[in-house]
């Protein structure tokens, strides 16, 4: 019975995330929105970064957390194992050219992320506690004119997101941390699980205000620590950097860079794994980041949308690039290793002593912990939409307990179920983005006419 369920879930995951369903739909939606917004993510990138990191907040605006805190909460959820494990897997299976296709996915994904955030703020509401509530489940319900369709899509998104939060946003993250700390430092998995659960509880039980304050300080620090390690590695072996870029661009269009060193890898492999892992990393199209954007203090949906699209830029164009370049420049990409083992090998080759392995292990732990915090809020808002405000505290307590459970159990089946739930939550969101693209364009045009 369990074997049959396992086979079914693996088949479902392969179909949903295969080359004929979600990947082309995500790319097509991102490209369509890019065209309709006239390449806004390229024209307004510097303005977006300025608002996010210099302006940071709007005084006396309605909302729960600042622009910056909303961005960091969303980054907490997306800068995770995908930036370390996902990039390595893409390069191991698709060659160095896969990194190029991750970049392309990130660039069109910025338009998708912008649109999700804009709609989330545009259709958000205030609950009885005075907190902002928004996200795909709300803009699907309120924005789509045919209410039965909108309501159905909203319920579907919230249901899949709630399940995904316990899987990819919780148990698989604590399991990754516990396994990494046990392998590198001999820490018992139950100790890791207990510490992670207690630390997460201290933040999660305080709600979005607590999560926003913590991620506003924690996420920039963890990204800087990881990028500092990557920068040292790249500097030490800087003479190999031109060759790394040559492999990336040649492999992107010829498929000549291959898994395990075999020449002639198919071009389709590089595109497939680059796109799939890019989407897994930055979550553009899944709709989840819109839930955090809806909590931002802002008078203008477009202003927060501009901030939110920098999330994809930071995650994929910056952090994933550092990982990919470290793997390719070090030569580890052709070793036959895969996943976190490949990233650790690259860092061990590139940095002296045990520093390389330690940096990857510690970064993986920090990234995974931040993902737990971000997804706790996504799942909480999904449950609130489905069951009402009374369900928030019970949900938080169950979510915290699941952190410990995930750390001490084998979760191969949960990994696969999480992939399916992630894919399924994207489908109603993408339908909504296409149906509401006219609202996105009108809001954007109106904002820039008022703020030339």
Give mean pLDDT, residues 376-394. Answer: 94
- CATH number of the domain within which 422 lies: 1.20.1740
Give mean pLDDT, residues 241-258. Answer: 80
Residue 261, pLDDT score: 43
Residue 117, pLDDT score: 95
Residue 412, pLDDT score: 67
What does pTM read for this prediction? Answer: 0.91
Does some domain include residue 8? Answer: no
Does some domain include residue 297? Answer: yes
Residue 371 has pLDDT above 60, yes or no: yes
Does some domain include residue 301? Answer: yes
* Contact between residue 135 and residue 365 where contact means Cβ atoms under 8 Å apart: no
Range from 26-30, 185-189, 256-260 carrying the lowest mean pLDDT: 256-260
Does some domain include residue 38? Answer: yes
Residue 259 has pLDDT above 80, yes or no: no
Does some domain include residue 188? Answer: yes
For a pLDDT cut of 70, what percent of the chain falls above it?
Answer: 94
pLDDT band for position 1 (cuts 50, 70, 90): low
Range from 183-197, 227-241, 332-346 carrying the lowest mean pLDDT: 332-346
Residue 256, pLDDT score: 52
The winner for highest mean pLDDT among 150-154, 174-178, 263-267 is 150-154
CB neighbour list of residue 274: distance below 8 Å, 6 or more residues apart = 90, 94, 97, 98, 99, 100, 101, 102, 104, 105, 252
Does some domain include residue 323? Answer: yes
pLDDT band for position 441 (cuts 50, 70, 90): very high
**Average pLDDT along the chain:** 87
Give mean pLDDT, residues 350-360. Answer: 80
Structural domain for 348, as ranges: 14-450
Residue 137, pLDDT score: 96
Residue 330, pLDDT score: 87
Give mean pLDDT, residues 260-274. Answer: 58
Residue 265, pLDDT score: 43
Q: Total domain count for the chain?
A: 1
Does some domain include residue 50? Answer: yes
pLDDT top residue among 210 and 8: 210
Residue 260 has pLDDT above 60, yes or no: no
> What confidence tens digit (pLDDT) does each residue in 5-62 have?
678 877 887 788 777 888 889 889 999 999 999 999 999 999 999 999 998 888 778 8
Does some domain include residue 311? Answer: yes
Residue 258, pLDDT score: 43
Residue 264, pLDDT score: 44
């Amino acid at each position: 019975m369990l074997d049959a369920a396992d086979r079914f879930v693996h088949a479902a995951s392969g179909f949903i995330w295969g080359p004929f369903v979600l990947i082309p739909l995500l790319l097509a939606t991102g490209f369509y929105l890019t065209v309709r917004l006239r390449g806004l993510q390229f024209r307004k990138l510097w303005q977006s970064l300025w608002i996010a990191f210099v302006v940071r907040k709007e005084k006396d605006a309605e909302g729960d957390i600042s622009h910056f805190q909303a961005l960091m909460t969303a980054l907490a959820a997306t800068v995770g194992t995908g930036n370390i494990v996902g990039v390595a897997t893409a390069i191991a299976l698709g060659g160095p050219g896969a990194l190029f296709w991750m970049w392309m996915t990130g660039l069109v994904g910025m338009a998708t992320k912008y649109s999700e955030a804009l709609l989330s703020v545009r259709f958000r509401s205030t609950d009885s506690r005075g907190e902002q509530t928004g996200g795909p489940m709300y803009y699907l319900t309120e924005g789509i004119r045919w209410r039965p369709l909108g309501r159905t899509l909203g319920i579907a998104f919230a249901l899949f997101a709630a399940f995904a939060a316990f899987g990819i946003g919780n148990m698989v993250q604590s399991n990754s941390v516990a396994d990494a700390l046990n392998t590198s430092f001999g820490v018992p998995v139950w100790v890791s699980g207990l510490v992670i659960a207690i630390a997460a509880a201290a933040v999660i039980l305080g709600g979005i205000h607590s999560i926003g304050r913590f991620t506003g300080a924690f996420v920039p620090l963890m990204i800087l620590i990881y990028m500092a390690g990557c920068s040292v590695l790249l500097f030490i072996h800087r003479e190999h950097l031109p060759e790394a870029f040559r492999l990336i661009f040649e492999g992107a269009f010829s498929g000549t860079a291959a898994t395990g060193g075999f020449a002639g890898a198919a071009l389709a492999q590089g595109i497939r794994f680059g796109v799939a892992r890019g989407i897994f990393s930055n979550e553009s199209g899944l709709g989840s980041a819109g839930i955090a954007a809806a909590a931002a203090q802002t008078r203008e949906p477009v202003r927060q949308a501009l901030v939110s699209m920098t999330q994809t830029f930071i995650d994929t164009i910056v952090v994933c690039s550092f990982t990919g370049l470290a793997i390719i420049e070090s030569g580890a990409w052709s070793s036959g290793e895969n996943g976190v083992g490949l990233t650790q090998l690259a860092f061990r080759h590139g940095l002296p002593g045990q520093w390389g392995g330690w940096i990857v292990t510690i970064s993986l732990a920090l990234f995974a912990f931040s993902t737990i915090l971000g997804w706790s809020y996504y799942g909480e808002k999904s449950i609130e939409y489905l069951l009402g405000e009374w369900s928030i505290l019970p949900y938080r307590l169950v979510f915290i307990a699941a952190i410990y459970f995930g750390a001490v159990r084998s979760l191969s089946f949960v990994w696969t179920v999480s992939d399916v739930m992630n894919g399924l939550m994207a489908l109603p969101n993408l339908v909504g983005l296409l149906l509401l693209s006219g609202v996105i364009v009108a809001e954007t045009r109106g904002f820039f006419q008022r703020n030339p």
